[in-house]
Structure 1
Amino acid sequence: MNDNSIIHYPRLDTVIMVENKIKSEEEWESKRQLWLSLDKKIMYQTFNIIISYLQDSGKIVIKNGKIIWIWNPELVKRYSNSSLVLK
């Protein structure tokens, strides 16, 4: 996404709100369904920035249009505390 085309960057509380909403169901049928279910209304462009961030950070995956929560902090903690070498 080109930085010049971004009108409004999301605030941290907005990112957390979207994260929590996704985690509450673990799977959403579509981005639109998720966007319409949010507790407060946000611009769709801002919503898309959040979705891109969550994908890039490995917290969600979008498969066949569905948004799926995949982040597992317990698994990450277990692997980061082990002597296993990750490449």
Structure 2
Amino acid sequence: MPKYTPTLKNILKEHHEFTSKSALQRALPKTIQTQTFNRILNYLEKSNKIIFTKNRAVVWIFSDDPKLKKVWKESVPL
């Protein structure tokens, strides 16, 4: 039994892009129910962590880089 089972969020962060939802689902270590999978993707999209391209590819867009957060915090609004 593996010590670490990657989550959907971690797989997206690591690979950044999948050509389709089914390709992403195949990358998961074990099957996940379709309803749960879609609910997680909807949450990640609404929280601006992923986007779906015209081709329905799934792309991770969220950055949790501390340097970027610092620059954003210190920036001056236009």
- Is residue 79 from structure 1 mapped to residue 72 from structure 2 by the alignment? yes
How large is the RMSD of aligned CA atoms in angstroms?
A: 2.1
Distance (whole Å) between structure 2 residues aligned to residue 30 and residue 77 of structure 1: 33
Aligned AA (2:63) = N
Q: TM-score, normalised by structure 1?
A: 0.70
How far is the alpha carbon of 1:77 from its aligned partner?
A: 3.9
Aligned AA (2:34) = Y
How far is the alpha carbon of 1:66 from its aligned partner?
A: 0.6
Find runs of 4+ consecutive structure 1 residues off by over 6 angstroms. none
- Aligned-pair identity in percent equals 38
- Is residue 24 from structure 1 mapped to residue 14 from structure 2 by the alignment? yes
Q: TM-score, normalised by structure 2?
A: 0.78
Query: How many corresponding residue pairs?
Result: 71
How far is the alpha carbon of 1:20 from its aligned partner?
A: 0.7
Partner of 2:33: 43
| Structure 1 gap ranges (5+) | 1-13
How far is the alpha carbon of 1:85 from its aligned partner?
A: 3.6
